[in-house]
Structure 1
């Protein structure tokens, strides 16, 4: 049986390693922290969540729900850890990030087929036919490994910015000015909502757009020793994670239709929707800290403290962590990857997680789940069968491997990526919710059949 290496101890790496081991294969899991850390991580723990603590919606028949349902049926180890460390978050699955990480660490530590090596990997031996490598080193892959990947793929790396939301001490929130609610009353009312009047919103917007931003650091730039096409010389923000100050500059109401959208959040004190709202989501099981949903930013810390304290209820907020924007790296998947996440030119090397072009915690874990199953099949001399196109997992893999290469950007799971219903059925069923239900039903049937194949 071939040896299996998994590089990266974030989300995709541990999930891949655990699945490899569950198929009876020995695996070595490499993680460079603490020998070498990154600019975003604070610990050397497995599965550290550096941005928000949400794994998205659990609303039945939504695209994130479908992805998680498929993962649960495939015995996703990290999703089980997330379920076991969940905190109240309305219709979303959010976790106590410390508890979640500890559970993943225990799973890795307890498994007799997993060997952990704490060192930086700087080379990939594509010529060794007896070794299968799953590269899941994440969006902040170290420059030597990025250069090695560049050598293997021959395609330029792309860079965008990802986000870290601010966190406030719960005891410093003025509860007389805020209210608990879930949008459209979906799930339980677990979010704290900070309501704005029009005048408060206008003042906040003015301060936000004039606040001083952090100068770009050297590590946030595309590494100069890695060849880049002309169009990629200047790093660009990922549209799904724009800093709030950049969103605000695109129009005076852009925030009100984005992260500060008040629709469906009736204030019980007025019986109406506020003009705008900032939502706070519980960070841990103790409920002693909350993060500002969608409030990633690139402002200096002093400016963050000044501007964010203009949010009603946060006038005396104690910030446990300020927001940040950091550079992410990912491969041009349509050019270099197959549907089974193998490098086209070097099929013994698989790419998983955000490095492969998926975006989001759940999507990264799902990618690791698939890569682990594919790697185990290869190690056992079997040909891996890609996840069915009709499924959420298959649709996500199809997107990253079949998109237009020139304008490729990472993606979260959405219904736009799933196969639509047949035209005749679409015409017959006008209700979107019913169409989504049928799509999910078909997807889960196909997923079950695929799992049965091993």
Structure 2
């Protein structure tokens, strides 16, 4: 049996290592931190959540729920850790990030088939007796990025990803805010900071004049071995608030500051705009500003964010940040089992492969670990059905138009639609989604069963 090398200790890497080990493979898990740090990580922990602490919606028959349900049925180790360290977040799955990392670390440490090596990998040697899973994420080191570019012969793409601020809960003026969940979905776990029109106008004015942080050299978009200082290429699903505000005076009110469905019990009405705060940890002593990633100077963040009602005297435990996120042009180089077409013993998983989001990255690790185990055991890996959420993600990253390829979260747009005749018959969108989810889970269960039989017979 071939040995498996997993490079990267973020989300996809540990999941891949644990999956492969659970299938009887010997795994070496490499992580360069703390030997070499990144510009965004704050620790050397496995599965550190750099941005928010949310793994998205748990609302039944939503696309994020479907992906997580498939992962639970597929025995995702990191999703089990997330479930075990969940904090109140309405209809979303959010975690205590420190407890989550600790639980993942314990899983790895207690697995006798996984050996951890703390060093930077700079070369991808093609050892015929070894399967490599590359899961180094959005901040892959320059040396390894150059090595991957050498192997694939394709130009890397990059976009900018952002981090939301975190506030000390004891410094929130609770007289000015209220707890609610949008449209009363789930429990009322979010703190809502309501704006009047005048307060919103003052906030937008301050935001529009705030100084941003000049881009550092490592944040510029690399191309063909050079660095060019052109305009940032933001990921549309994670824009900094100042960039959103530039697109129109009311754009924030229809984006992260949307008040719809958040009735203020003190007035009985929706506010003009709202900022939501989500619990960071089990102690509930800190909250992050939902969707408020930004690239403002720290002093400017303090000035602008303290204009949010209830945060006038806020103490910020972490300010917003921005970092460059690197991913490969997957449609040109990957097949449906996440193998490089020209180097099939190397698999790419997580955000480096072109999926976006924590849950999607873990899902990529789950698949890569299973595919790697099959290859190590001399079997031919099989991609999950297109009907499933996992299969739809893989189909997207391997079949999109390469010229305009950009990372994606799981949405119903990626899943196979219902047949035209059924779509005409069923007008209700929720009912359509329910049927899509039902079909997906049935197809997923079938794939798991077939994979289990194959593994047992190997």
TM-score, normalised on structure 2?
0.97
Distance 1:179 1:412 in 2: 30
Distance 1:276 1:60 in 2: 27
Q: Which residue of 1 aligns with 2:186?
A: 187
SS in 2 for 1:316: coil
Residues 143 and 223 in structure 1, CA contact (< 8 A), matched pair in contact too: no
Distance 1:177 1:19 in 2: 47
Distance 1:233 1:286 in 2: 43
Distance 1:104 1:260 in 2: 33
SS in 1 for 2:125: coil
Name which of 276, 289, 298 aligns with 2:273.
276
Distance 1:234 1:26 in 2: 44
Residues 13 and 29 in structure 1, CA contact (< 8 A), matched pair in contact too: yes
Q: Which residue of 1 aligns with 2:258?
A: 261
Distance 1:407 1:430 in 2: 32
Q: Which residue of 1 aligns with 2:143?
A: 144
Within 5 Å, give how 1:166-245 maps onto structure 2.
Answer: 166-223=165-222, 226=225, 234-245=231-242
Q: Which residue of 2 aligns with 1:343?
A: 340
Within 5 Å, give how 1:76-87 maps onto structure 2.
Answer: 76-87=76-87
Unaligned runs of 5+ in 2: 452-458
Distance 2:163 2:94 in 1: 15
The answer to whether 1:387 aligns with 2:380 is no
Distance 1:114 1:6 in 2: 10
Moved more, 81-90 or 218-227: 218-227
Q: Check 1:224–1:62 CA distance in 2 against 1; reply closer, same or farther (3 A cut).
A: closer
Offset, 1:226: 2.1
The answer to whether 1:417 aligns with 2:414 is yes
The answer to whether 1:100 aligns with 2:88 is no
Within 5 Å, give how 1:13-24 maps onto structure 2.
Answer: 13-24=13-24
Q: Deviation above 3 Å: which 4+ runs of structure 1?
A: 232-235
TM-score, normalised on structure 1?
0.98
Offset, 1:235: 4.0
Offset, 1:218: 1.2
Q: Deviations over 1:62-88 (max 9, x none)?
A: 000000000000000000000000000
Unaligned runs of 5+ in 1: none
The answer to whether 1:109 aligns with 2:109 is yes
Aligned pairs, how many? 451
Q: Which residue of 2 aligns with 1:74?
A: 74
Offset, 1:222: 2.7
Residues 155 and 224 in structure 2, CA contact (< 8 A), matched pair in contact too: no
Offset, 1:345: 0.6
Residues 12 and 352 in structure 1, CA contact (< 8 A), matched pair in contact too: yes
Distance 1:205 1:222 in 2: 29
Distance 2:95 2:109 in 1: 21
Alpha-carbon RMSD:
1.1
